[in-house]
């Protein structure tokens, strides 16, 4: 509310002197009235009161403000009959309310000319034509209801110019078509927006993901349109949502698991493609009976033996290695070998991996991206041209299938903006295991931070803060977003991918949990050499949420200090020890990476000092003292850098986003 007050005040002081050209009443009479009236011979009874022989206060369906911004009170007889108000240019229109008034025309572009106009209620009329993009020029507009008319065309992207102030937007029951335009800024949150109703139109395209960023949204209606594709996890995570209706579209796939226990019933989702499944709708993959435990809704098992398909006994065979010297990359082809006949190889497919088939995965051409103690990561090209990332767990490294598969299903539940999603899992009959994930062409945080080349991306504090917060959110989701917490087990900068908008994505979560203990120990000692290992892991071997938080603390120090953690012989530093020394010697400011101090006037007001304290809290030697990830997220959110404008520089705007108006 305070931001609203501010914008009204600034309009009052800044724009009044400019407004002497034509009064609002003039624009109403000359432009708005004829347009709304339309081509009917019978004069509209409401609109006909808008005339110069009727005092302004008696014009139907309008509200006004005086020069001070206060509402014009039409209660007193003298004001009510004051004809001079009609030509008083300081009187401003604040509201147009003519619902169910038999209007037959259209909305003209001059609707954007009213500086004070806060609400437009023109529902249940016969208005047609397109929504003028000038609507987005109305500097004070908060509430729009144009429901139950015949507006067509697409929604102008300029509507999101009003993102920061809009409270409710209703276009229910029109003929709007095309896809919903994205806001110009990649990540607008439209904080005041409570109601968004586009139900019963002809809108199409995938689920408009940007809506899930609208953090205060209470009511969302996209029902009875032509939306397609899957329902994103982020929708289920919208905390403030009270009412949801996405019924009668063409959504497919599995509903996010969170909807199983939400306040939304089947009537929020019904009437979509028959393949939309998962609680509160019907269970997914019912009918095959391939030994799925009923409580798990993680995935659709493609029972390869079902129906006598002979695809079944395909195996990953030998890896033939060819070095491609010219490109300096090692190319390995995944070669397929027909197995004997006891083919147990099977592919578990999870949300978003429905397009994958065993044949296609195993026929993919792979290029080695990374080798690690648990196996090899490939970039694999599918026959349709798409890429996936394959993590081949080395032989013998994984536990028994009985233990392994339920865990993998748990990991597949994890869907979050800051997590690389697991799309499928392959288990071959010799025990080979492939984790199949989305492929991201991006660099890891480690590369970005420690790369020494001259052309490297500069990371200022707002960017680093954004990365830290994203990693914290992803980790918090792993720890608390599921019935059983998922322990990452290997949080490190090499396992954080950074996209061009500096949104981080965590990879490799849970892999330690899949390993037999000998390999798990190896993974742990590697993380120890790299400085991420919590001290208590020297005694007990099992990772837990608190050991993840320790690793996160090290990663946060790495971000703040720009130094590699770990053994000195690998060029690393004991980061917590450096901080302690600096604090004792009162040289704290010197430990920050000089690159992040650029443009920072006051490290406390910009959240730098708080972030350092937080990192040290996470690295506390005594595990119970460490904050949990939810607390870490809260503290990072509460202590943001003040100047975040450069996060939205043109280079940061996703290509394909709507052009700003
Ligand atoms: C309204 O009628 C006028 C002439 O009577 C015509 O030129 C105009 O195109 C019509 N507009 C609409 C929206 O039907
Ligand atoms: C002006 O408005 C009054 C009602 O306030 C109405 O009786 C009159 O017919 C209107 N005049 C015109 C020209 O529409
Ligand atoms: C009528 O309105 C005019 C213009 O706003 C104002 O100057 C005048 O004092 C008003 N008269 C009455 C009787 O309220
Ligand atoms: C909108 O409807 C009008 C008729 O009312 C039609 O002439 C026009 O082509 C339509 N526009 C779009 C974009 O569908
Ligand atoms: C978008 O919002 C998310 C969640 O609020 C945040 O983590 C991320 O940093 C934001 N991205 C941009 C481009 O600001
Ligand atoms: C829903 O989508 C499928 C393909 O994705 C298509 O075949 C079908 O016609 C669509 N149904 C409707 C009602 O649009
Ligand atoms: C959802 O929308 C459809 C069509 O717009 C409507 O018939 C239905 O009653 C709505 N359901 C809920 C739960 O609001």
Reported as a single tens digit per residue, the pLDDT across 227-254 is 999 999 999 999 999 999 999 999 999 9
> For residues 197 and 170, is the Cβ–Cβ distance under 8 A?
yes
Query: For tokens 């594709």, what's the residue?
Result: 229
Query: For tokens 């920072």, what's the residue?
Result: 600
pTM value? 0.51
Pairing of strands 92-97, 62-65: antiparallel
Residues contacting ligand 4 via CB (< 6 Å): 128, 152-153
Beta-bridged to residue 565, according to DSSP, are 573
Check residues 361 and 252 and name the one with the higher pLDDT.
252
**Pair 464, 589 in one domain:** yes
Cα within 13 Å of Cα(601), Cβ side = 3
Question: Is pLDDT of 317 > 50?
Answer: no
Q: Does the beta carbon of 213 sit less than 6 angstroms from any atom of ligand 6?
A: no
Query: Which tokens belong to 620?
Result: 């506390």
Instruction: Identify which of 28, 51, 55 to mutate to test ligand 2's pocket (most ligand atoms within 8 A of the CB).
Output: 51
Is residue 565 packed enough to be buried (19+ CB in 10 Å), middle (13-18) or exposed (0-12)? buried
Question: Is pLDDT of 170 > 90?
Answer: yes
Q: Give the Cα separation of 586 and 578 in Å (integer).
A: 12
- The minimum-distance atom of ligand 6 relative to the CA of 252 is 5
From 177, 244, 188, 180, select the one nearest 207 (Cα to Cα): 180
pLDDT in tens, 581-627: 888 888 888 889 888 887 777 777 788 888 999 999 999 988 888 99
Task: Give the 3-state DSSP-derived string for 428-476, with helices as H, strands as E and coil as C.
Answer: CCCCCEEEEEECCCCEEHHHHHHCCCCCCCCCCHHHHHHHHHHHHHHHH
> For residues 279 and 300, is the Cβ–Cβ distance under 8 A?
no
Name the DSSP letter for residue 540: -
- pLDDT for 396 equals 65
Cα–ligand 4 centroid distance for 127 (angstroms): 12
Cis peptide before 280 (omega within 30 of 0): yes
Task: Tell me which ligand sits closest to the C-alpha of residue 468.
Answer: 5
Identify the CATH number of the domain in which residue 430 sits.
3.30.200.20
**Pair 483, 421 in one domain:** no
- pLDDT for 333 equals 29
Cα 579 from chain centre:
34
- The minimum-distance atom of ligand 7 relative to the CA of 172 is 5
pLDDT in tens, 333-354: 233 233 333 344 778 888 888 8
Query: For tokens 């005086």, what's the residue?
Result: 66
**Pair 496, 620 in one domain:** yes
- pLDDT for 330 equals 28
**Pair 427, 501 in one domain:** no
Q: What residues contact residue 483 under an 8 Å CB cut-off, 6+ apart?
A: none
The last residue of a domain, from among 438, 454, 489: 438
The DSSP H or E segment spanning 392 is strand 387-393
* Domain extent for 451: 445-654
**Pair 520, 461 in one domain:** yes
The last residue of a domain, from among 438, 457, 489: 438
**Pair 475, 578 in one domain:** yes
Identify the CATH number of the domain in which residue 484 sits.
1.10.510.10
Q: Give the phi and the psi of residue 375 in degrees, each rounded to 5.
A: 150, -150
Question: Is pLDDT of 525 > 70?
Answer: yes
- Count Cβ atoms below 10 Å from residue 453 Cβ, excluding itself: 6
Averaged confidence pLDDT in the chain = 80
Residue 612 lies in a domain: yes
**Pair 464, 417 in one domain:** no
Query: Which tokens belong to 482?
Result: 């599921």
- The minimum-distance atom of ligand 3 relative to the CA of 76 is 14
Residue 80 lies in a domain: no
């Amino acid at each position: 509310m305070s931001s609203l007050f501010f914008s009204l005040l600034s309009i009052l002081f800044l724009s009044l002197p400019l407004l002497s050209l034509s009064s609002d009443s003039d624009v109403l009479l000359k432009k708005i009235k004829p347009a709304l009236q339309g081509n009917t011979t019978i004069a509209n009874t409401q609109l006909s009161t808008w005339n110069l022989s009727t005092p302004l206060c008696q014009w139907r369906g309008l509200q006004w403000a005086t020069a001070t911004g206060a509402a014009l009170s039409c209660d007193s007889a003298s004001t009510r009959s004051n004809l001079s108000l009609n030509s008083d240019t300081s009187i401003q229109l604040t509201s147009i309310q003519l619902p169910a008034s038999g209007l037959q025309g259209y909305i003209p572009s001059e609707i954007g000319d009213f500086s004070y106009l806060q609400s437009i209620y023109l529902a249940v009329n016969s208005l047609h034509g397109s929504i003028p993009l000038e609507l987005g020029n109305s500097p004070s507009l908060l509430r729009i209801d144009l429901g139950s008319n015949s507006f067509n065309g697409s929604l102008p992207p300029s509507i999101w110019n009003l993102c920061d102030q809009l409270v409710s937007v209703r276009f229910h029951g029109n003929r709007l078509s095309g896809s919903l335009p994205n806001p110009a800024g990649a990540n607008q949150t439209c904080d005041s927006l409570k109601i968004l109703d586009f139900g019963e139109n002809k809108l199409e395209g995938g689920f408009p993901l940007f809506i899930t960023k609208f953090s205060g949204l209470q009511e969302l209606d996209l029902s009875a349109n032509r939306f397609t594709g899957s329902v994103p996890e982020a929708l289920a995570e919208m905390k403030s949502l009270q009412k949801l209706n996405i019924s009668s579209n063409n959504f497919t796939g599995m509903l996010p698991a969170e909807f199983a226990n939400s306040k939304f019933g089947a009537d929020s989702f019904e009437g979509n493609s028959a393949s939309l499944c998962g609680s509160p709708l019907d269970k997914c993959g019912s009918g095959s009976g391939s030994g799925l435990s009923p409580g798990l809704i993680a995935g659709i098992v493609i029972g390869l033996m079902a129906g006598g398909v002979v695809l079944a006994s395909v195996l990953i065979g030998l890896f033939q290695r060819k070095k491609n010297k010219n490109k300096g990359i090692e190319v390995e082809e995944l070669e397929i070998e027909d197995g004997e006949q006891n083919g147990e190889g099977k592919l578990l497919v999870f949300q978003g991996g429905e397009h994958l088939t065993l044949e296609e995965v195993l026929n993919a051409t792979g290029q080695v991206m990374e080798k690690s103690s648990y196996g090899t990561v490939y970039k694999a090209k599918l026959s349709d041209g798409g890429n996936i990332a394959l993590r081949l767990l080395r032989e013998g490294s994984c536990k028994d299938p009985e233990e392994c598969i339920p865990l993998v299903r748990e990991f597949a539940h994890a869907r979050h903006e800051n997590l690389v999603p697991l799309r499928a899992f392959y288990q071959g009959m010799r025990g080979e295991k492939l984790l199949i994930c989305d492929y991201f062409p991006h660099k890891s945080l480690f590369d970005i931070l420690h790369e020494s080349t001259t052309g490297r991306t500069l990371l200022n504090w707002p960017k680093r803060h954004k990365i830290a917060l994203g990693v914290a959110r992803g980790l918090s989701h792993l720890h608390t977003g599921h019935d059983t917490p998922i322990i990452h087990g290997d949080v490190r900068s090499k396992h954080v991918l950074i996209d061009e908008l500096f949104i981080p994505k965590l990879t490799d979560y849970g892999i330690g949990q899949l390993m037999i203990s000998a390999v798990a120990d190896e993974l742990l000692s590697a993380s120890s050499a790299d400085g991420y290992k919590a001290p208590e892991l020297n005694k007990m071997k099992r990772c837990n949420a608190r050991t993840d938080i320790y690793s996160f603390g090290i990663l946060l120090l790495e971000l703040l200090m720009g130094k590699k953690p770990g053994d000195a012989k690998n060029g690393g530093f004991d980061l917590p020890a450096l901080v302690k020394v600096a604090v004792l010697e009162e040289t704290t400011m010197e430990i920050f990476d000089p690159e992040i101090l650029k443009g920072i006037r006051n490290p406390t007001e910009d959240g730098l000092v708080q972030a350092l304290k937080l990192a040290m809290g996470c690295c506390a030697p005594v595990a119970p003292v460490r904050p949990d990830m939810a607390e870490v997220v809260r503290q990072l959110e509460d202590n943001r850098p003040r100047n975040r404008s450069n996060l939205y520089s043109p280079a940061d705007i996703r290509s394909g986003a709507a052009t700003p108006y």
